[in-house]
Each structure stands twice: as C-alpha cells, then as structure tokens.
Structure 1
C-alpha cells in the first residue's frame, strides 16, 4: 500500500501513534482516497475496496495482522478514529449535492448536473447517475426526514425533500454534519 520511506515511517515503533494518525488522516492516505469523491457514482465493490485499503493501512500502523482477526471497529477505536473513509466520502457527496442544488442555473456545473445525455441505450442495467447515488446515501436510513416533526413518524428523507431542505444552507449543513444519523461516534 504505502511504499518506501513512508512505509517505514508508518510501521516504525519509534514514531508516535498520533504522528502516524496525522499522516494517515490529513497527510497522505485519506486525502488520496477521497480525491474527487464528492462526484463519484460508485458500486458496492468500490466501497469495499476503499474500506480494505483504509483498514490495511490502519492495521499496519498499529502492528496488527489480518490473521489476528480483530474487528475493523476495534481497530478504528484503537486508532482513535470516529468514522471510516466511506462515511467521510458520503458526507462529502451530500455536501456537494447541497452546493449544486443551490447553484445558479446558468453555471456550467449546474448545467452538466441537470443534463441528460442522449446516447443510444445499451444492453443491461442503465448507468447510475449522481442522483441515484444520493438516493442510496439517503436511503441508508441515516438522514431522517424533516417533514414530520413527530418523533415516532420520522422516516427516511427522499431526494425531492433533500432538494428543498438543501436550499437552506445552515439547515443542510446541520443535517450533513449529523450524518450518519444514529451511529455512535
């Protein structure tokens, strides 16, 4: 995963865990994994691969082997991490969705976002769109609807509701920062 001098730095027992974690989080690995992730349309296999890369680096950092059979949540807890890279990517997607929905209709980014490409339809499953990805993130039952204020009636936020809610920047920012709803930090 990490080559050369960085590998020796990350696996060295002389370097503090705090320094290694800083290199992991802000320095090299997480920013590299997350580069451009706000606009990705991904499949389950991509999520799995990103998780695998992150966990491999974390295990290497704390000196745990895969054969030790320690749960990923336990490894994250030992490293002092609150959330995985996939959750950070999903937060970034929701944040970007809010930006694009609030954009002026004349901006090129908004035009590309709303454009439908008229190409011949191939065989098999239709290609996923960015809105499909947002729908899946919202559907994970981690972003609660704001329409019904009764706690027992709260459901999952739908894309149409998200488009309305994200017009209010502060409210959307509050929802995204609380993501994932119900998970312990």
Structure 2
C-alpha cells in the first residue's frame, strides 16, 4: 500500500509540475479556475483506486503534505511564509480535504460491495474471514475496519442500510469526514 501511495503521489507531482509554467504561474488564470483544474486533473491521479485503500497514518500524512504543497503553489505562497493550512484553504475556497475525498470514495464503493450478489468476487473478499489468526499487538487496519470507523456502525447494520440507496447516500454524506 505504501508503495502505491508513493507512486501515485510521484505521478501526480509530475503532472502538477508539467503544468507549472502554463497554468500555476500564469497570472491571467483565476485562482478559482486553477483549483478546479487541480481538482479535475491532479487529484484523480493521486487518489486513483483509493476506494479500496486501508491507509496507514503515514500514508495519510503523505497525501496531506502533497495536497498542501499543491495548494500553496496555486496560491503562490511558500512554506517559509508560514501561512496556516486553514488560511490557504479559505483563500482558495477549498472545503474538502484529500482525506475526506478518499473517505467519500471508500463509502461509495462500500455501498456497491454491500449490494453485490454473493457470487461476485469483491463481495466474497469482503465477507471472507480468512480464518488466519491476526498477529499479536496492534493489528493493521483492514478495509472493513475503516468502513466501520467511517460509518460508526457494524458492517451488518451498514449492509442493511446500503440496500436502501437514498438512505445510504444520506448516511454517507453525513458520516464522510
């Protein structure tokens, strides 16, 4: 997982850098348009297949650092200017963080998995207990654990909620943080 996140951040950084002279440093393009370009072109590269990720804190931090580096470049401030992240988000009118976007995508995919027929592979992988005992100490987070944490309910309760699509959309909008 860690290597996937590093690779995607590297690819997104490359794409962001390729647009430096044409978009980010162009003063004729508004900040609003720059943010929309960032959200349409760069974020999808960085979050590709994120609906199936079980991120560690280290990977979440890497994604946060990447996001703020991009937003600082769009705004034209340096890390040395000591402008707070909240201030940068306010100035650019960016309301959702990359972590929130990943959480929304994960919950959306969970709804699809919960509604799948039992013969589908993603549903079987979700339901399988893998009967192998988990290692001692703090076990690594699983996708199933993150869904429970995001929703604040058991997976059985989430499955019954996912059957009703409008209810599922309402719950996921409220819970995605």
Structure 2 length-normalised TM: 0.80
**Secondary structure in structure 1 of the residue aligned to 2:19:** helix
Structure 1 length-normalised TM: 0.77
Map 1:70-149 → 2, pairs under 5 A: 70-117=83-130, 125-139=138-152
- Structure number with greater CO (CA < 8 Å, separation at least 6) is 2
Runs of 4+ in 1 over 6 A off after TM superposition: none
Q: Which residue of 2 aligns with 1:53?
A: 66
Give ranges in structure 2 of 5+ residues lacking alignment: 1-12
**Secondary structure in structure 2 of the residue aligned to 1:106:** coil
Distance in 1 separating the partners of 2:17 and 2:144:
40
Q: Which residue of 2 aligns with 1:164?
A: 160
Query: For residues 122 and 177 of structure 1, do their structure 2 counterparts lie closer, same or farther at Cα, with a shift above 3 Å needed?
Result: closer
Q: Deviations over 1:95-141 (max 9, x none)?
A: 111111111111122112222335686665434321111123235xx
**Secondary structure in structure 2 of the residue aligned to 1:134:** helix
Query: For residues 159 and 4 of structure 1, do their structure 2 counterparts lie closer, same or farther at Cα, with a shift above 3 Å needed?
Result: closer
Q: How many residues align?
A: 163
**8 Å contact from structure 2 (residues 72, 88) kept in 1:** yes
Give ranges in structure 1 of 5+ residues lacking alignment: 140-156
The two structures, once aligned, show a CA RMSD in angstroms of 2.2
Distance in 2 separating the partners of 1:4 and 1:94:
31
